[in-house]
Amino acid sequence: MEYSILRNLIVEIPQMPGNFAKVASVIGAEGADIGDIETLKIGTHTTIRDISVQFETKEHVDRVVEKIREIGDGIVIHAISDDVMKAHEGGKIHMSSRRGIRSLGDLRRVYTPGVANICEIIHQDPEQADYFTSIGNSVAIVTDGTAILGLGNIGPVAGMPVMEGKAVLFDQFVGISGIPILLDTSDPDEVVATVKHIHKAYGGILLEDIGSPHCFEIEERLKAELDIPVMHDDQHGTAVVTLAAILSACRTAGVELSKAKVGQIGLGAAGLAICKMLMEYGVEEMYGSDLNEAAKDRLRESGGTVLDSIDELMEKSDIVVATTGVQGLIKKEMVRKGQIILALSNPHPEITADDALEAGAAFAADGRLVNNVLGFPGIFRGALNARAKKITYPMLIAAAQAIVDSTKPGDLVPHPLDPNVHVAVTEAVEQVAGDQQ
């Protein structure tokens, strides 16, 4: 069962034994899933609870709510709220000062006349800006809104909640200030020119949710023309975490990745980046399949082998990765015994892990655990710490290995909220970046 809607039911229940069980039973019987339960108020005769429930559809919400109301016995639903919407009210980020101004002395130190001295220092030695300003700890999160999550081309403003989310993760996990930059153009010349004109204010550039194929040109040009780290997260962030997941799966299945034949179904931004990452890691036989001829050409140019059918790819590959967004694309009869299969499309994978294992796969997983948050914060933190000019494949591979080393036995990847994994990725990337300089 796939849940896509989260609602909080504010329910007042008379304090009689079994009354809450009646509510819980209705929710379960109707196929919804109870999450957190918070007691908001305990009265003399009733208790008010905030019950978090996951539903399949809006119609599913209406049906369950009506069933609860039919219970009677004094049970009342006061409100149906949405925690996700609440979390986004007013936005999720806010720029604040690191220095309080409580006196004229404070004002003179942080602004005029004291600030003039700092300006002169930076004028004489521009690298001092990394020390005396926020530049060295800031990353611009740049989007044109053409590939927002699984929603597609919905525009940069509609994609702002995602950019704010990235900024929250940067701040919470590695202390970086992420600043969303929304562009009203997708023209590569205009995007590149804009970022070049504003890049002096940032220590790095994270390209986010920029669609294929223009994302390839934009990233390549910015990496070549700027002297600060640039990374397209949908390409390389995804590829880093996917490589980590593959390495963990290989460890579980007893497979040596560098000697395995790997097939990639879907050669969009993420798929092609995964292919390149695996080849950089040492995979010698890298196969790919896609309906788009330009995507196939890009894989050939990168050194991979294009196969014309998924059936052929499934037959030849020891490890299969799929990033097509097409639910049920891989049929059970295509699975070869002993294969490792990562069907990463969310929320609906190309084949469910249960079906793949039932068909004979040695290991199978979907994309719910393969989350970019395991990679991009530590990658940029390490790059900024090392004052790296670029993010290179050795740095990315080091990040993937750090994720693997932080993974507990039996897990595919670490929990994304584990602070240790972000520290490990930071240190690994910083070490490699320092060695390269």
For 216-230, the DSSP string reads HHHHHHHHHH-SS-E
Contacts of 29 (CB under 8 A, 6+ apart): 67
Can you give the pLDDT at residue 151?
86
Are 353 and 368 in contact by the 8 Å Cβ rule? The answer is no
Residue 436 pLDDT exceeds 90: no
- Find how far residue 291's CA is from the centre of its chain: 26
pLDDT in tens, 145-171: 999 987 899 999 999 999 999 999 999
Please name the residue that has the structure tokens 């809104």: 145
DSSP state of 149: T
Ramachandran class of 43: left when φ > 0, alpha when ψ lies in -120 to 50, beta otherwise? beta
Tell me the longest C-alpha to C-alpha distance in the chain: 77
Catalytic residue among 41, 58, 111, 131: 111
Is the pLDDT score of 1 beyond 70?
Answer: no
The confidence band for 420, taking pLDDT boundaries of 50, 70 and 90, is very high
Q: Is 263 helix (H, G, I), strand (E, B) or coil?
A: strand
> What is the pLDDT, as a whole number, of residue 3?
64
Q: CA-CA distance, 305 to 301, in Å (whole number)? A: 10
Summarised one tens digit per residue, pLDDT across range 350-388 is: 999 999 999 999 999 988 888 999 999 999 999 999 999
236-260: b (≥16 Cβ within 10 Å) or e: bbbbbbbbbbbbbbbeebebebeeb
What are the pLDDT digits (tens) for 12-23? Answer: 999 888 899 999
* Residue-range domains of the chain with CATH: 5-88 (3.30.70.260), 95-133 (no CATH), 139-228 (3.40.50.10380), 235-437 (3.40.50.720)
How many other CB atoms are there within 10 angstroms of residue 205's CB atom?
Answer: 26
Q: What percent of the chain has pLDDT over 70?
A: 99
Read off the pLDDT of residues 295-331 as tens digits, 9 standing for 90 and up: 999 999 999 999 989 999 999 999 999 999 899 999 9
Q: What is the mean pLDDT of residues 80-98?
A: 82
Q: Determine which one of 3, 58, 131, 166 is catalytic.
A: 166
**What is the per-residue pLDDT across 219-252, written as a single tens digit (0 to 9) for each?**
999 999 999 999 999 999 999 999 999 999 999 8
Structure tokens at 317: 């590959």
What is the reported pLDDT for 87?
79
Q: What is the pLDDT of residue 102?
A: 93
Which pLDDT belongs to residue 80?
87
Omega of the bond leading into 213 within 30 degrees of 0 (cis): yes
Give mean pLDDT, residues 423-429.
98
Q: Report how far residue 317's alpha carbon sits from residue 10's, in angstroms, rounded to the nearest whole number.
A: 51
pLDDT of residue 2: 64
- Asked whether residue 5 carries a pLDDT value surpassing 90, the answer given is no
111 is catalytic: yes
pLDDT tens profile 102-147: 999 999 999 999 999 999 999 999 999 999 999 999 999 999 999 9
Q: Which residue reads 């190309």 in tokens?
A: 350
Compute CA 74 distance to the chain's CA centroid, rounded to the nearest angstrom.
44
Mean residue pLDDT of the chain comes to 93
166 carries an active-site annotation: yes
